């Protein structure tokens, strides 16, 4: 993956925008204790990265933007953010995979990439705990789920529905982020007086 100077600068600008959202907006959401703050931040960040993909329409661009945002977060806040940092990189990677697989940027590709990228926020805590504590944690989680449903007298299938609802919500938010990215990206093109993609 070799980008031109202009492309590298453009990727730097979009990485900085995602990083700025994480650093500024992220702190605000954290202080306000907004529910699903991580999902909202991921959706906005991915939207920015996908807009960047419209301006640097080459494989690897979305991942590159995600990496810059992640490094900016690490640079500004230190090592404590290593786990969210990995989250940013994987979210960008997932969006990248979808966009690269679908090749030509389109509303559909952006919607799908957004949905897949945001979905990672659901899986992320489990994967991170697995990385830190080993695969044994999975047994602990499953037993906790089992015991929890017994104590609360809930049918285990209801837990499954709850999980599906949480996944669906994330897919919806991600898809909306993709649509927003497509619409905003085209408007930025118009604002700068460049021909639309």
Q: Which residues of this protein are in contact with another protein, per CB under 8 A?
A: 1-6, 8-13, 15-17, 19-20, 23-24, 47-48, 51, 55, 60, 64, 67-68, 71-72, 74-75, 78-80, 82, 131-134, 136-137, 139-140, 143-144, 147, 180, 183-184, 187-188, 190-193
Residue pair 106/113 in contact (Cβ under 8 Å)? The answer is no
Kindly tell me which of 55 and 120 has the beta carbon lying closer to another protein. Answer: 55
Shortest Å distance, C-beta 59 to another protein:
12
Say how far apart CA 39 and CA 173 lie, in whole Å. 8
Residues 6 or more apart whose Cβ sits within 8 Å of residue 44 = 21, 25, 177
Shortest Å distance, C-beta 173 to another protein:
14
Say how far apart CA 110 and CA 104 lie, in whole Å. 10
Kindly tell me which of 67 and 175 has the beta carbon lying closer to another protein. Answer: 67
Task: Quickly count: other Cβ atoms within 10 Å of residue 12's Cβ.
Answer: 15
Kindly tell me which of 15 and 38 has the beta carbon lying closer to another protein. Answer: 15
Shortest Å distance, C-beta 130 to another protein:
11
Kindly tell me which of 143 and 167 has the beta carbon lying closer to another protein. Answer: 143
Shortest Å distance, C-beta 69 to another protein:
8
DSSP 24: I
Interhelix angle for 107-133 vs 37-55, to 10°? Answer: 130
């Amino acid at each position: 993956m070799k980008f031109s100077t202009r492309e590298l600068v453009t990727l730097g600008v979009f990485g900085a925008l995602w990083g700025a959202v994480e650093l500024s907006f992220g702190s605000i959401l954290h202080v306000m204790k907004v529910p699903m703050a991580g999902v909202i931040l991921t959706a906005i960040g991915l939207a920015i990265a996908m807009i960047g993909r419209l301006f640097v329409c080459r494989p690897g661009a979305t991942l590159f933007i995600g990496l810059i945002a992640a490094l900016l977060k690490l640079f500004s806040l230190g090592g404590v953010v290593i786990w969210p940092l990995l989250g940013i990189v994987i979210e960008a990677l997932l969006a990248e995979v979808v966009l690269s697989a679908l090749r030509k940027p389109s509303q559909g590709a952006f919607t799908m990439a957004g949905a897949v990228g945001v979905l990672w926020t659901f899986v992320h805590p489990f994967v991170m705990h697995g990385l830190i504590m080993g695969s044994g944690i999975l047994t602990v989680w499953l037993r906790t789920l089992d015991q929890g449903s017994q104590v609360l007298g809930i049918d285990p299938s209801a837990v499954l529905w709850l999980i599906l609802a949480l996944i669906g919500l994330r897919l919806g938010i991600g898809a909306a982020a993709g649509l927003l990215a497509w619409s905003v990206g085209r408007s930025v093109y118009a604002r700068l007086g460049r021909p639309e993609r």
